Amino acid sequence: MTVVTVEAKHTFSANCYLAASSTGHCAVIDPGAEGEGIIAVLEDRGWTPGMILLTHGHFDHIGAVRTLQARYPGLPVYLHKNDLPFVTGDPNVLTPGMLLSAQRSGRSREDFLLSVDHFLTEGQTIVLDDLTFTVIETPGHTPGSVCFACGDDLFTGDTLFHHDVGRTDLYGGDAGALYQSIQKLSRLSRNYRIYPGHEEPSTFAEEQEFFKAFLEHRV
C-alpha cells in the first residue's frame, strides 16, 4: 500500500490520506474541505478513488466529499451510524466556530450534508483490490469515531494523535468513552504506523509511554 497525505491548508490542517493499492485504486480517508487539492494529487498520481472512508463526521474531515463525488460519480461513502447527526444537518452540531471556518474555506453549510452508502461496524472488513481495511470502533471524540487498520497502518482520525488524543468537549464527546477507546488501542499487539487526523504520523512503539501515562492518569 502507498499512502499519500494531503493536508488541508485552511481547515484546521486536517490530514486527508490517499491509500492506494498496487493497481492504482485508492481509498480516500477523511477528505477535508479542500477537494480540488485532493483531486489534483489523484490526477498527478494517476490514481482512481474507489471509496471514501470517514473516521468521524466532523466538518473538517468530510468537507470535500461532495466535490469528490461530483468529479467521480458513484463514489461510495462509509461512516459509522452514530455520527449521522454531523452529516444530516442537525443544528446541534454546527457551532459558530465550525461555520466560520467552513466559510473561510469557501464552503456553505450545504457542502457538509452527505448521504452515507455504508454504515461502519466493529470488525467490518472493506476490501479494495489487495487492501483490506478493518474497522475498529473508537468512540469518544465523537459517538461514531472509528479507526481503520490496513496491514501495518492504522488511520486514527481524531481519536489518537502523536502523544495526544482528541478533544471531547464538542457535541457527542465523551471522555470516559475515549479513555476506553485508547485502552482498546493500547492492547493491539502490532507496531502500527499511526496516521492521525491532524499533525505528524507516529508508531505504536513511539506511543507506548504516552499510552501508559494517559491510562494511569485516568485511573
Q: Which residue has the cell 494531503?
A: 6
Which one, of 15, 17, 34, 41, lies nearest residue 131 by Cα?
17
Altogether, the residues listed in the chain come to a count of 219
Tell me the percentage of the chain whose pLDDT exceeds 90: 69
Instruction: Say if CB 83 and CB 142 are below 8 A apart.
Output: yes
Identify the pLDDT of residue 106. Answer: 65
Is pLDDT at 134 greater than 90 in this prediction? yes
140 sits in the region (left: phi over 0; alpha: psi -120 to 50; else beta) called left
The answer for residues whose C-beta is within 8 angstroms of residue 8's C-beta and 6 or more apart is 14, 15, 16, 32, 33, 34, 37, 60, 105
Cα–Cα distance measured from residue 64 to residue 58, given in angstroms and rounded to the nearest whole number: 12
Model confidence over 23-56: pLDDT tens digits? 999 999 999 878 889 999 999 999 999 999 999 9
- The phi and psi torsions of 147 (rounded to 5 degrees) equal -115, 155
**How high is the mean pLDDT of the chain?**
90
Please name the helix (run of DSSP H) or strand (run of DSSP E) that holds residue 179, with its range, or none: helix 175-186
Model confidence over 145-202: pLDDT tens digits? 999 999 999 999 999 999 999 999 888 899 999 999 999 999 998 899 999 999 999 9
Query: What pTM value is reported for the model?
Result: 0.93
Q: Which residue has the cell 501495518?
A: 152
- Interhelix angle for 175-186 vs 204-218, to 10°? 140
Q: Pull the grid cell for residue 53.
A: 472512508
Lowest-confidence pick of 51-65, 85-99, 167-181: 85-99
pLDDT mean over 131-157:
97
